[in-house]
Chain A
Amino acid sequence: MQTPPPFSLAGLRRGAALALPFGASSVVYGLAFGALAAEARLSLGESLAMSALVFSGTAQIAVLPLWHASLALAPIFATVVVMNARYILMGAALRPWLAGLSAGKTGLSLAFLVDGGFILASRRRSGGDHDVGVLLGAGLVSYTGWVLATGVGYELGRGIGDIRRLGLDFILVAFCASAVAMLWHPGRHVVPVAAAVVAALVIDGLGGGNWAIAGAGIAGAVAGGLMHDGRG
């Protein structure tokens, strides 16, 4: 059993503060989802419950068109899994770091797992900040913004205007670009990133856009594993 990583309130606060830039993107998507949910004639309670329990913008927006169809649970389950397959990969990547933490702390950290939080925590960790509280704190900020914004978007409806015009749909992409630029270590990253880019291009080109992120993650992991010389 290895010694557990630190998990502190200070780390939680640090993660929360650092998450504000991409937390803003959760708010933007929450507004958009709330507006779309109102349009799809979900009740406010249903919209909020969905955001609070599912916490996945792309998946929730994708399910809305199926809402008033017959109760087709299998396609709904499959849609959400496809949209969130990337989290399976992120969870796997978190294993060595979280090993040794109590089940409760691990469960909490995974329950609020979100793209921006994962990226932020990965960056902090490569800079020497191993506090798992950072991951949870960032996830909580994003979650809070997402749920509150769902309600606001529901009430404002179309009044919020087009987020694309303002470039707000670009926040998560910009957050990734900035993180990659700061993390960049050519010796370690060129091969896995090249594999990931090729995988994403191929999958997206074949029309499987929802699988692009997970596919890129798998390709990068395989490339990263293969290029390792097998020694410690």
Chain B
Amino acid sequence: MGRTHPGIAAIALAIAAFLVVFLVVPVVAVVYTAFSDGQGGFTLAHFSAFSGISLMRESFGNSLYVAGMTVGLGTLIAVPLAYLTVRFQFRGAILVQTLGVLPLVMPAFVGAAAMQLLFGRSGSVNLILKDAFGLTLPLMEGLNGVIFVETLHYFPFILLNLSAALANIDSSMEEAAQNLGASGWRLFRKVVFPLAMPGYVAGASLVFIKVFDDLGTPLVLNVTNMLAPQAYLRVTSIGLEDPIGYVICVILVAFSIGAMGGSWWFVKRRDYALVSRGGVQAPKRRLTAWQAALAYGWIAAMLLLVLSPHLGILLLSFSKVWSFTVLPEQFTLGHFATVFTESKQMIWNTFLYCGLAALVDVAIGTAIAYIVLRTRLPGRQLLDHLVTVALAMPGLVLGIGYLRTFKGIELPFGGGALTASWVIFVLAYAVRRLPYALRSCMAALTQVHPALEEAAENLGAGRWSTIRRVVVPLMMGGILAGFVTSFITAAAEISETILLTSRESLAPMSYGIYLYFQSVLGRGPGAALGVIAVGLVALGTYVSHRLVAANSPHQPGGGK
């Protein structure tokens, strides 16, 4: 492990160059444009222009409001669920886990159309309410709709992070509080929740930025007075030269970095290293009959809500006519037929783009994991940090950055303009989803004990031989899981996709769904395409869980 092979250094440099060209340069170009007066000078004029437009001020406020409300409502849903599963003996745990995964398999913007039909002004729920009580609930009106859809989609991030944090609290921390006289709500408020705070903050900040940056959901719900839709509209209707779009991008980036950095700082500031894992997890308590009824009731209600977009999209995909009725009146398979004839190209495009992007991701991810964990190459951490930057970059920003940076650049061998080719999708997806693949590869390599490699070297295998015959095979489970994660998250991507789709023949499925939803007639085929996408993502999620599960405990030599 002493000296670093020149070949490794060359690979590290190549990866760094890739990240600089396709991540750093586009983002810098966006930021530069926002602060540039056109003659290369620095100016804040675009920002003052931005704040001079009342629609922009309103959009800014709305985006903050929607993101904040989503975090708040998501917390209300997630905290009781997390506490229930981690601390109490009850049979609903599997249901709650399902609750945690279900929303993630369907892109929020796909669910949005179905939610409109179920909870909209003349949706099923309001039709029933009107009949029974003569009133309607404005669940999907304007910003409410965005908050509603985003909450149901993103609360699992809080649930999963918080559950993990709760499970990590040493039981003695709680017992000490009980021993000193605390119980019930006070125990939770004064000891349990503060100790789980790092997990909660990580989840909540993630939800905040995801919602703050989201473009697909507001567009499908026809809400344009928010930041991301405004940036998109400015760039597409006024043009790539309009600086206001870039100002919005800078705000999005600033909030993303602020939220991620803030949560990192928060966790770091407090000394949680003391929360030792030496002891045992808290024994699960029993629920009283009363509490059990409440718990099951809450879970059932949440499950129903969370399932509603899935059921809605399924109904919609099979319905011939569905408007102003509680349920569709006639069913058909026609939408699927339409999709398979009209949108074959889009389905193929999704497989092509996302497959290639995921391949690039695991190749780079494996290389970075090896370089960071197994070599002493100077500056190797920088690669890891660069990739983390990608996590904080909104797709919208990267998309606009690509259009600006690579405008007019021609592909070699007469491939035409880069921004008008399928290659741009692969690059954009690969860069955005690289953090997922990298985490997976890192986790896999951490599990491989260095002695296994030393044994190979001791028996005469050179560095490359060791990597090929020992390291990569041992990491394979993690690499595959990383591939699947990259693939499915890329397939569900919409912000970059909307921006980068220059013509319909290049569009992937996600764009197809979005396009179909633009017209009333297209809702059926859109839903059918959505069902296919959800099936794909669900299958991928299942496969990746299986891969991770199959690989972690039986890893040969997978010690500490």
Q: Do the two chains belong together in a single complex?
A: no
